[in-house]
């Protein structure tokens, strides 16, 4: 990418929950934009979205849409990314794609800037943004891995409905209202009621009994960390929370680390806030982390069942660090590395 003072930037999938967050994040971080263009499906054409006090009309994608665009942030689903990301790349545009389409492609870097920004050097026009639950986990795992080499991770996630999109958020609100008013509960987005419930089911089930979401966490973590020797098992759970994913992590390392050593390591690591004083009821909560950029870590304690084990609780805003912010940070890193 050529070094410039400002960049023609696009958001594809601009009217979705993550697309909206991308626009807001670009504005909040004063991203060096020459012109912002917004794209979505045909039914959204002509809708106007606000950016820096101006109203920008939403366009429909065409073969020549990406001419003159420097950077495009995609959050329009895997099928559209499969079609349109290569079109954008051929036009000379660098794509940061938030879908699952390119994540495990060996020709495409899968990047969390705090962890493996060096992988941006070998991109071929498309860069993959990892899964939301993976991003917040590897931000925490990497500094621990550097200090003590991680052997094994057991993770259980507690993921908010915004990870499914706006329709899921609407369904949780509607079901909650209906329950409190003694009305019939209708399920459209999820196979079961989500209000006042917990679903141990995110994405499709695979032949091995795990879901696609669980295997994404396994495979993406190894690719991002650049270490296939890390053993990882995941259980992903949907909870009736609107925003922020929480995760319970159990980490086994080769070298022993005390909880205080882990706190010190994480306190000095980018993108992390250690929020850990349980005796004062201080630990990360979704209601407090919503809208924040950092991954919050608490409940750091020794796993007394194994020799070198640490337990912790981490929370991050899945629409921010888990999607929009990470994509914008990738774009910022690309600009920083441009010559």
| Helical residues (DSSP H) of 37-192, grouped into ranges | 78-90, 113-116, 132-148, 166-180
Q: Tokens representing 41?
A: 């499906």
Is 245 among the catalytic positions? yes
Mean per-residue pLDDT for 142-161?
98
Averaged pLDDT of the chain: 96
- Domains of the chain, CATH where assigned: 7-130+323-337 (3.40.50.720), 134-318 (3.30.360.10)
When pLDDT is cut at 50, 70 and 90, the band that residue 241 belongs to is very high
Residues 305, 319: Cα–Cα separation, whole Å: 35
Q: Tokens representing 188?
A: 């459209």
Of 93, 123, 244, 245, the active-site residue reads: 245
Of 93, 123, 132, 244, the active-site residue reads: 132
Is residue 154's pLDDT more than 70? yes
What's the residue count for the chain? 339
Mean per-residue pLDDT for 183-212?
98
Mean per-residue pLDDT for 136-159?
98
| Per-residue pLDDT at 331 | 97
Segment 88-129, tens digit of pLDDT: 999 999 999 999 999 999 999 999 999 999 999 999 999 999
Q: Strands across the sheet with 231-238, in order?
A: 231-238, 150-159, 245-253, 309-316, 295-302, 272-274
Q: Strands across the sheet with 7-12, in order?
A: 48-51, 54-60, 33-40, 7-12, 71-74, 94-97, 126-128
The Cβ of residue 88 has, within 10 Å, a number of other Cβ atoms equal to: 25
Is residue 339's pLDDT more than 70? no
pTM (two decimals): 0.94
Residues 211, 197: Cα–Cα separation, whole Å: 19
Q: Tokens representing 206?
A: 């695979």
Q: What share of the chain is helix, strand, coil (3-state, %, to 5)?
A: 35, 25, 40
Is 93 among the catalytic positions? no
Give percent of the chain above pLDDT 90: 95
* Cβ neighbourhood burial of 249 (10 Å; 0-12, 13-18, 19+): buried
* Residue 155 and residue 137 in contact, taking contact as beta carbons nearer than 8 Å: yes
Segment 24-74, tens digit of pLDDT: 999 999 999 999 999 998 888 889 999 999 999 999 999 999 999 999 999
Mean per-residue pLDDT for 245-258?
98
- DSSP-derived secondary structure letter, 50: E
Judged by DSSP in three states, 315 sits in strand
Nearest C-alpha neighbor of 34 from the set 66, 83, 69, 76: 69
Nearest C-alpha neighbor of 154 from the set 261, 262, 243, 233: 233
Residues 112, 133: Cα–Cα separation, whole Å: 12
Q: Tokens representing 245?
A: 């994913």
């Amino acid at each position: 990418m050529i070094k410039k003072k400002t960049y023609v930037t696009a958001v594809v999938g601009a009217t979705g929950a993550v697309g909206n967050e991308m626009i807001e994040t670009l504005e909040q971080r004063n991203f060096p934009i020459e012109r912002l263009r917004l794209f979505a499906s045909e039914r959204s054409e002509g809708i106007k979205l606000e950016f820096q006090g101006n109203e920008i009309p939403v366009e429909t994608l065409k073969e020549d849409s990406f001419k003159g665009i420097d950077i495009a942030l995609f959050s329009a689903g895997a099928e559209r990314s499969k079609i349109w990301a290569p079109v954008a790349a051929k036009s000379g545009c660098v794509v940061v794609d938030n879908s699952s389409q390119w994540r495990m492609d060996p020709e495409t870097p899968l990047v969390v800037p705090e962890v493996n920004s060096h992988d941006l050097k070998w991109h071929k026009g498309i860069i993959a943004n990892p899964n939301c639950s993976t991003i917040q986990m590897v931000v925490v795992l990497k500094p621990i891995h550097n200090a003590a080499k991680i052997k094994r991770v057991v993770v259980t996630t507690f993921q908010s409905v915004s990870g499914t999109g706006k329709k899921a958020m609407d369904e949780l609100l509607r079901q909650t209202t209906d329950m409190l008013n003694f009305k019939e509960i209708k399920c459209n987005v999820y196979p079961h009621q989500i209000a006042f419930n917990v679903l141990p089911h995110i994405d499709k089930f695979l032949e091995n009994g795990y879901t696609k979401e669980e295997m994404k966490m396994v495979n993406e973590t190894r690719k991002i960390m650049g270490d296939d020797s890390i053993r990882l098992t995941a259980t992903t759970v949907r909870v009736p929370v609107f925003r922020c994913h929480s995760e319970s992590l159990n980490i086994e390392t080769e070298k022993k680390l005390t909880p205080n050593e882990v706190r010190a390591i994480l306190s000095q690591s980018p993108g992390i806030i250690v929020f850990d004083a349980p005796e004062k009821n201080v630990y990360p909560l979704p209601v407090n982390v919503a809208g924040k950029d950092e991954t919050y870590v608490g409940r750091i304690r020794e796993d007394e069942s194994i020799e070198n084990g640490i337990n912790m609780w981490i929370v991050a805003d899945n629409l921010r660090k888990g999607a929009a912010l990470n994509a914008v940070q990738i774009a910022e890193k690309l600009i920083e590395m441009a010559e």
